[in-house]
Structure 1
Amino acid sequence: MIRRRFPLTKSIKSIWNDKRNNYPERIVQFGEGNFLRGFVDWQVDRMNKRAGFRSSVAIVQPRANGTVSKLNDQDGLYTLFLQGLKNGSAISEHTVIEAVSRGIDPYKEYGEYIKLAENPELRFIFSNTTEAGIAFAPDDKLTDTPQSSFPGKLTALLYHRFQYFNGSKEKGVIIIPCELIDRNGDELKKIVLQFASLWNLGGEFTNWLEEYNVFCSSLVDRIVPGYPKDSISEITEELGYEDRLVVVGEQYHLWVIEGPAWLKAELPVEEAGLNTLIVDDMTPFRSRKVRILNGAHTAMTPISFLCKKETVGEAMLDGQIGEFVRELIFNEIIPTLDLPKAELTAYADEIVDRFLNPYITHYVMDISLNSISKFKTRDLPTLLEFVNRKEHLPQKLVFSLSALIYFYKGKRGDEQIMLRDDDSILTFFHEQWSTVDGSQSSMHTFVQNVLQEKMLWEQDLSELAGLVETITNHLMMMEHTGMRKALQACLENTH
C-alpha cells in the first residue's frame, strides 16, 4: 500500500518512474479498458513482484476511438483500488500497477504495432475486446493497416512473426482471450485459421499456428467498475498525486484458464498467491459464472437505467429491482444449471453480496456496452434452456429482453440514451422503432421483426411459442405507463 504523501502538483509518473522495474515486453494485450487493467495487468504486476515473472505488457488499442494516449501520458502507470471483503473484513487498499510498458494505437502507429511480432521475448497474448470483438470480418485484408477486427489484427501479427523468425517453433505464443463468449480460445483460433485461409497464407503458417501456438479458453471473474468519477477528488487527496487512469475493482477475483499442465511453470500464479486456476476443463466454472453473475448484470441493466437507477448498488437497494434480480437468479437461472443446487445457491448468495458491495460504484451504462451480444451470450442460453426444461417462458428473462429492446429505442423520457453498440445494430433498431406508431399492431410487427433478425440472435426467436405476444405486451405497457409500472406488473404476475 502507498503510504507516502506528495504535493498534489505531482503526477503519478514523476513519482513512480524512478522506482519501477523495466522488464522485457513478454506480453501483448489487446484492450486498454478498465477490466484488463484491474484484472490481468494487476496479476502480471503481482507475479512480477512476488514470483519473479519479470514481464511487462505492451497494450494494443483494438478500436480507433481508444484511450492508449492517456496511458502513454502516464508512462503506463496507474493506481488500482481494491475494495470489498477480504478474509471476512471490509478492506479498501490501493497500489500502483507498474506492469504496463506502453500503449500502441495501430490506427496511427501500425509500424510499431506490427513490430511487436519481431520481439524474440514475446510469449503471451491476452485480450478483452468485449463479446462482439471475437468475430470474423470477411472484408479484412492482410494489407490493411490495421485490419478492422481484433482476430484480423491478431492474424496479421502472428503471420509477421512467422515470417520474421522463419517459422521457428521456439517463437510460438500462448494466447489467452478473456472475452465472455463460450470457448473463447477455440473460437478465436477458428477465426484466425479462417483468415489464414482467406488470405492464402499457406500450409506452413497454418501448421506453425497449430503446432507451436497455444490458444487457451479462459473465464474471468472480478467486478471492475473503472474510473471513480464521483470520488476522484477525495482519491487524489488521499494519493497525493494526480492519476487520470485510477481503476476501482472489488477484492474478489477468479481466473480459470483451460490449458496444458506445463503452463503452470510459465505462468507462476500459485507462487504469486492468485486465485487463478489452470485446469483441464473450465466448463463448470464458466456456466455458473456467466449465467449467474454476467447474466444478472446484463438482464438488470436496461431495467435499472430506465427506472433511473444509475448503478448496480442503487438498483439492488431498490425494492422492486432487487426483488426482480433475486427472483431472476434463483427461480430462472439456477434451474437451468446442472451443478449441485446447494453449490449454486451459495455462489448466487455471494454474487448478490458482491452486487451490494458499498465500496463499488458500478454504472449500469458501463455494463450496457454491446448489450445485444451480451444478452445473446449471457442470457439467451438460459432462456432457451428454461423453455426446454420447463416448457414455458421464463417471465423475468423475457421481461429483461423486452426492457433491452425498449432500451434500444434510445430514449429515457425526454433524455437521449447514448447507446454504444455496432453501427449496424444501432441503425437496425433506429429504423425498426421508427415504424412503431403506438398501436398494438405496429408494435407486434416491430417485435416480430426484431426477434427474427439473425444478425442479432443468430436464430429466429419469433418461433418460440408466445414470445412475440409477451414482449409486445410488455413493450406496450413500458411505452404507455413507464418502466416502473411495467416492472411492478411483471412482479405481480409471477407471484
Structure 2
Amino acid sequence: MPANPTLTRSNAPRPKVGIVHLGPGAFFRAFNAPFTAEAMAQSGGDWGILTVSLRSPDIRDKLKPQGCAYTSVTLAPDGAKYAVVEVIDDILVAPENPRAVLDRMSDPAVKIVSLTVTEKGYCYNPATGGLLLDHPDIAHDLAHPDAPKSAIGYIVQALNLRRLAGTAPFTVMPCDNLPNNGPLTRAVVLDFAHAFDPDLADWIAMHCRFPATMVDRITPATTQADIDALAAAQGYVDNACVMHEPFRQWVIADDFVNGDRPDWGAVGAQLVSDVEPFELMKLRCLNGTHSTLAYLGYLAGYETISETVADTAFAQFINGLWANEIIPTLPQPEGEDLPRYAANLLTRYQNPAIRHRTWQIAMDGSQKLPQRLLGTVADNLTAGRDIAGLALAVAGWMRYVGGVDENGAPIDVKDPLAAQLRAAYDSAEKPDGKVAALLAMRDVFTADLAENPIFRAAVTVAFTQISTTGARAAVTGMI
C-alpha cells in the first residue's frame, strides 16, 4: 500500500505580504494565521504573512516543502475538524540571513509586524518592565544593528531603515501573554532606540503604534501521534499541523498606523479602545490557573490539564481560587460575566481531546509567575483578602523548580533561570530556608512582596505541606 503523500499548497493566487510575523510557532499557526486568512476571505486585502524564525530552522524545514500550507486541527469533544491554512507566503530563518529579514520588514508594503516570541523574547525585567540592556542579545544588537538576534533588535533596526528611507513605520502588534503588552513593547522598543539613537526613539514615539492585544486559544504541542491521526483521517502527511481547542478570543486595541489592518472584526475579533480589563481577566483567570494546575498537577503525577481537573479535588480547588482570590481582583470588562467566564474555562480544561501537558505549561515559570500569579497576590494583600490558594500555587512552582518530583525522579525544568533556581533551592535544607532563598530572587519577586510577612508565611506553610504530604494532599486540604 503506497504511503500517504505530503500536504501540498493549492494553486490559488497568493496575497501580497502585508504582515511580518516574528515567531512562527504553534500558537501563531493555530490563531493569528487562521484569523487573518478568514479576514481576507471575508473582506479582501493584501495581508499575506511572511514569518520569521529567530532561532531554529525546524519550522521552516517542515513548512517549506508544503509551500507553507499546513493543517489547523480543531480538537472538539465530538471529534476533530480540519482546515488547510494558506496565508503564509514564506518563512525565513533569521540567523541564516539577518539582512534578508530586515529588507522584508522595511518593505513599504508591510504594514504590521506581529510577535509571538514568549515572555522571554522581549528581553525585559518582569519586575520593572524595563529592557535588560545587559541581556546578551540586546548588547549584541546594539553593537551589531545590521545583524540582530532579538525581536526587539530587528524591530528597531527595521524602523530605523524605514525612517532613513522616508517610509512610514509599521504597527508593532505583540500577541504574547504579557500585561499591557502593547505599552510594554513600546517601552522596551523605545529603551533600545534611546540607547541606539535618541532621534530614532523620538520618531518611533511620534509615529509608530503598539496596539495591545489579548489572545486566547489552548494550543497543545503537536505529537507524532497527532500527525499520524491526521494522515489516517485526511490521507496526507502534514509535519507542520497544529492542534487547538474550538474556543478562540482575540481582543485588539484598534490603534494602527494609518488604520491599516485586516478586517479581523468581521471574523470574531473584538476591536476595542481598552484591552486591559479583558487582558487582566484572561491573564489571571486562565493563565494563572493554568500555571497553578501545571505545577501542582505535575507534582501530583498528572500529565495533562484535562487529567488534572478530572480529579474533583483539583476542580474544586480551582473553582474556589477563581471565586475567592482571582475574580475579586478584576475590573469588569464590558459585556463579560466573570463567573460564567470562569465556568467556561473549567469546561475548556475538561476537554479530553486537548492533551495540554502540565510540563509544557510549566516552562519558563520565572518569566510567567509575576504576571500570572504575583500581581493577583499583591492586589489581595493590599485589600486584606485571603491568599492561601495563590500561596499554594507559588509553593507548587517552588517545589517544581527544585528539579525532583515526589517519587524522586528528575524534573526537566525548562526555564532561563533554571540553574539559579535550582541553586537557590539546594542552598537550604529546611522548607523555610528554601522558600527564603527563592523569594530572594529579584528577577521573580519584588522586594515588597518577598518581604511581606503574610505572603512569606503563607508560602512557607504551603511549601512545607507540599513537601511533607505531597501536592494532591495539599490541594485537598484547601477545599
Shift of residue 307 of structure 1?
1.0
2:231·2:238 contact (CA, 8 Å) conserved in 1? yes
- Structure 1-normalised TM-score? 0.87
Please, which runs of 5 or more residues in structure 1 have no aligned partner? 1-5
Correspondence list, 1:181-200, <5 A? 181-199=178-196
Map 1:24-43; keep pairs closer than 5 Å: 24-43=16-35
Report the counterpart of residue 218 of structure 2 in structure 1. 223
Of the three residues 295, 307, 311, the one matched with 1:314 is 307
- Residues 1:7 and 1:45: Cα distance change in structure 2 (over 3 Å): farther
Asked if the contact 1:32–1:60 (Cα under 8 Å) also holds between the matched residues in 2, the reply is: yes
- In 1, Cα distance between the equivalents of 2:436 and 2:448? 9
Quote the residue 2:436 is aligned against: 448
**Cα drift, residue 269 of structure 1:** 1.9
Contact kept? 1:82, 1:250, Cα under 8 Å: yes
Aligned counterpart for 2:423 among listed residues 402, 419, 431: 431
Work out whether 1:60 is the aligned partner of 2:52.
Answer: yes
Which whole-Å CA distance do the structure 2 matches of 1:152 and 1:384 have between them? 33
Letter in 1 for 2:315: G
Cα deviations across residues 428-487 of structure 1 (Å, max 9, x unaligned)? 1121122233xx3xx322211211321112444332223333323333333343323333
In structure 2, do the counterparts of structure 1 residues 75 and 459 end up closer, same or farther at CA, with 3 Å as the change threshold? farther
Q: Distance in 2 between matches of 1:7 and 1:263?
A: 53
The secondary structure found in structure 2 opposite 1:11 is coil
Greater mean alpha carbon deviation, residues 99-108 or residues 470-479 = 470-479
TM-score by length of 2: 0.90
- 2:203 equivalent among 198, 203, 208: 208
Counterpart check, 1:76 vs 2:68: yes
1:284 counterpart residue number: 277
Task: Report the counterpart of residue 152 of structure 1 in structure 2.
Answer: 153
Q: Secondary structure at the match of 2:433?
A: helix
Q: Per-residue CA shift, 1:169-221, capped at 9, x if unaligned?
A: xx32122111111211111111111111111x252x33432333211111111
Change (3 A) 1:181 1:108: same
Amino acid paired to 1:483: A
Residue deviations 1:66-118, cap 9 Å, x none? 63332334332210012338xxxx56321111111222221222122222134
Q: Which residue matches 2:248?
A: 253
CA contact (8 A) 2:145 2:157 kept: no
Provide the secondary structure at the position in 1 that maps to 2:120: coil
| Aligned partner letter, 2:180 | R
Distance 1:60 1:193, change over 3 A: same
Task: Structure 2: give runs of 5+ residues left out of the alignment.
Answer: 125-130, 134-138
Please give the residue correspondences for 1:367-382 in structure 2 after superposition, counting only pairs within 5 Å.
367-382=361-376
Shift of 1:314: 0.7
SS in 2 for 1:94: strand
CA contact (8 A) 2:18 2:109 kept: yes
Partner of 2:451: 463
Share of identical aligned residues, percent?
A: 22
The one-letter code matched in structure 1 to 2:362 is S
- Secondary structure in structure 2 of the residue aligned to 1:455: coil
Contact 1:7 1:241 (C-alpha < 8 Å) held by counterparts: no
Equivalenced residue count is: 464
1:293 corresponds to 2:290:
no
C-alpha distance in 2, partners of 1:429/1:67? 30
Q: Partner amino acid for 1:418?
A: D
Whole-Å separation in 2 of the counterparts to 1:233 and 1:183: 39
How far apart, CA to CA, are the structure 2 residues paired with 1:473 and 1:449?
15
**Paired position in structure 2 for 1:133:** 121
Q: State the Cα deviation string for residues 224-268 of structure 1 (Å, max 9, x = none).
A: 224144443222111111111211112221111112389776321
Aligned-residue Cα RMSD (Å) equals 2.5
